Amino acid sequence: MRLLTTLLLALLLAPLAQSAARAQDLRDPAGQAFTVWPNIPVVRAADLAEYEADRKAFGDLHADKADPAKVTAALAAIDNLQAHHERRALAQLGRSLNAQLIGELDGLARRARLASPRLRFDFADITPEDLQTPTPPQELKARAARIQLAAYITYTRLEGHLVQATATLVKLRSGASQSFTVTAPVTSLAESLARELFDYFEGTRFAAPRNPNPGLEWLTAAPGHADQLVSREVALRWCDRQGAQLPTADELAAAEAAGFHGGGVALRTGGVYHVQSGLYDTAAAASGTGALRANHLAGVPNGQYYCVRHALAPEPAVRSARRRR
């Protein structure tokens, strides 16, 4: 069931992936509030044919985005999709989740004492009855100009009361999108999704960390040494053949702190690695007893390793006075 769900979600999100890859952060520009279309379709992962039709409806959000008529048509399709899945949603989950999600977001904003939340839902000139049916085309045209984001939710039931749901927000005029996935009991699903959305839009936007070792190129161990313990002599010999050397303990510690996705490396929990001055023990580092220890057995397979290659320092610039001579 989970594999089928994954495949179905991939089909639905496929047309959004290319635009998201080249788009700016969905929260840009910083500090701006976004008006969201209040009808949020809730789609159950069950029928491949339905997913094909749903994918086309949301794919239209990425074509001719600057054309007001096309935006209006896309919002009409979202409303129709909401009505269709509302009729089929289990125990009215679609409408309940739609309303509860908006309510949870409002509650989080109140508790954080935010005077101007970044996510706002456009309920101007809408009655409760209007939310149960697609918006008439003439009203859509009048309101489409002030809508920045549309959203939809896909979900599947897991064992017991657990539900896995993915909320996707789409920026109408750029096609940028961002998805948020949670697994929670059905009674707290809206709360979990709201927290993900709220933290994303209202949380502090941290600057990207700098690479702690910008002058180093990291090399993995030899292919034949992958996931194996080797001796210090073997590690030194391979690094030398690559025009590289073993890292220092400080270089390896900084790279571990940066992490595999931050310009550093990933070390095994409880792993032991060759460094220039001995062995770097990640278990000892985690316990606070000191990661570095001497290696008195240079010929015994007792560690894994990375190699580092130092970037060449740029040649000093020739002084202009010397060039004039």
CATH number for the domain that contains residue 284: 3.10.100.10
On whether both 97 and 222 belong to a single domain, the answer is no
pLDDT at 73: 72
Does some domain include residue 116? yes
Residues 122 and 198 both lie in one domain: yes
Domain interval for residue 238: 216-310
Indicate whether 37 and 158 sit together in one domain: yes
Three state DSSP letters for the chain: CHHHHHHHHHHHHHHHHHHHHHCCCCCCCCCCCEEECCCCCEEECCCHHHHHHHHHHHHHHHCCCCCHHHHHHHHHHHHHHHHHHHHHCHHHHHHHHHHHHHHHHHHHHHHCCCCCCCEEECCCCCCHHHHHCCCCHHHHHHHHHHCCEEEEEEEEECCCCEEEEEEEEEECCCCCEEEEEEEEEHHHHHHHHHHHHHHHHHCCCCCCCCCCCCCEEEECCCHHHCCCCECHHHHHHHHHHCCCECCCHHHHHHHHHHCCCCCCCCCCCCCEEEECCEEEEHHHHHHCCCCEECCCCCCCCCEECCEEEECCCCCCCCCHHHHHC
At 4 the pLDDT is 33
- The domain boundary, picked from 202, 229, 260, lies at 202
Number of domains in the chain: 2
Does 172 fall in a domain?
Answer: yes
Q: What is the mean pLDDT of each run of 10 residues along the chain (325 residues)?
A: 36 42 71 89 67 62 63 72 56 76 95 94 63 61 81 87 91 90 93 97 90 93 96 97 96 94 92 96 86 93 96 55 49
Q: Is the pTM of this model over 0.85?
A: no
Which pLDDT score is estimated for 50?
54
